[in-house]
Structure 1
Amino acid sequence: MQKKMVIKRLHCALTMILLLVVCGFLTYQYYFNAPRHDSFVSKQKLSDTVTLYITKYDDGSATVPDVYRFYLDKDTSENIMKELEERSPFLEANTNHVTASAYGNTVNIKITGKVYSFTNSDLFYADGVAIMPVINLIANGIRD
């Protein structure tokens, strides 16, 4: 009789621990994989195959700095925000004032401000062809 009671309590405790782990995992996934709250800022065609898109995080408050996200993609007039939500930006900064140019698949970006993240590789498809532009960044920091 005592053995059954111990097994029942262990089973109940294990069930509660597993329930907490699953709830914690689902909460983690919801907060870190939720769609971004971005608004479209601008579009600049750099070459025949590469277009620069800039979005701004618009869900911040007075204590959250402006964050601009930069994407490279094909030139499209469709709903670009839906496509950009599924992609990662190659550059995140506190300003959207950049000088951008391209020659073929080489993209040159010059920015003055804080750069929060940057990667020099990006990949997108245009008419079924994979395009992987080379990104050169010149960043001039600012002093606070």
Structure 2
Amino acid sequence: MHARSVIKNLHYMLTTSLLLLVGGYTAYHGFFNTPPQDVFISKQKLSDSVWLYVTKYDEGNATVADIYRFYLDKDLENKGIINALKERSPFLETNTNAVTATAYGNTVNVKMTGKIYNFTNSDLFYADGIAVMPVINISANGIRD
């Protein structure tokens, strides 16, 4: 009878700890993987198949620097742009929106001066069912604080 009580208590503690572990894991990933609260800044046509979109993080205050995110995609036609971009990853995150971008075909050239928080030199999106994979070249000058 005593062994049954011990097993029952161990089962209860194990079940409770597993539920807390799964709940904590879900809450952690739900909190940190939420899309950023960005506002749409601009849209620029770079080539026939590549458009540049810029968003700005809108939840900052005096202690949080401005963060601009740059995306490459097809023409999103001014409806639901911010929702479409929330499903994408930016190829560039900086502290400035003073970025000059040009393209020739699927090669995108970016020039900027400022801090780069995140950068990747390739991207992938679909335009009319065709995969478009622009290659990104960057020329960046840093700044001193």
Once the two structures are overlaid, the 10-residue window that deviates more, 28-37 or 14-23, is 28-37
Match for residue 75 of structure 2?
75
**How far 1:8 sits from its partner (Å)?**
1.3
Long gaps (5+) in structure 1: none
What CA distance in whole angstroms lies between the structure 1 residues aligned with 2:89 and 2:35? 12
Q: Percent identity of the aligned residues? A: 67
Normalization by structure 1: what TM-score?
Answer: 0.96
How many residues are matched? 144
Matched residue type, 2:124: L
What CA distance in whole angstroms lies between the structure 2 residues aligned with 1:14 and 1:125? 47
What CA distance in whole angstroms lies between the structure 2 residues aligned with 1:84 and 1:34? 13
CA deviation map 1:50-98 (0-9, x unaligned): 1100000111222111110000011221311111100000000000110
What CA distance in whole angstroms lies between the structure 2 residues aligned with 1:124 and 1:4? 59
- SS at 1:19 equivalent: helix
**How far 1:35 sits from its partner (Å)?**
2.3
Once the two structures are overlaid, the 10-residue window that deviates more, 71-80 or 119-128, is 71-80
Matched residue type, 1:61: N
CA deviation map 1:17-66 (0-9, x unaligned): 11110111111121122122000011111111111000001112221111
Match for residue 112 of structure 1?
113
Long gaps (5+) in structure 2: none
Pairing 1:1-144 to 2, within 5 Å after superposition: 1-77=1-77, 78-144=79-145
Matched residue type, 2:122: S
What CA distance in whole angstroms lies between the structure 2 residues aligned with 1:22 and 1:79? 34
User: Where does structure 1 differ by over 3 angstroms across 4 or more consecutive aligned residues?
Assistant: none
- RMSD of aligned residue pairs (Cα, Å): 0.9
What CA distance in whole angstroms lies between the structure 1 residues aligned with 2:87 and 2:37? 13
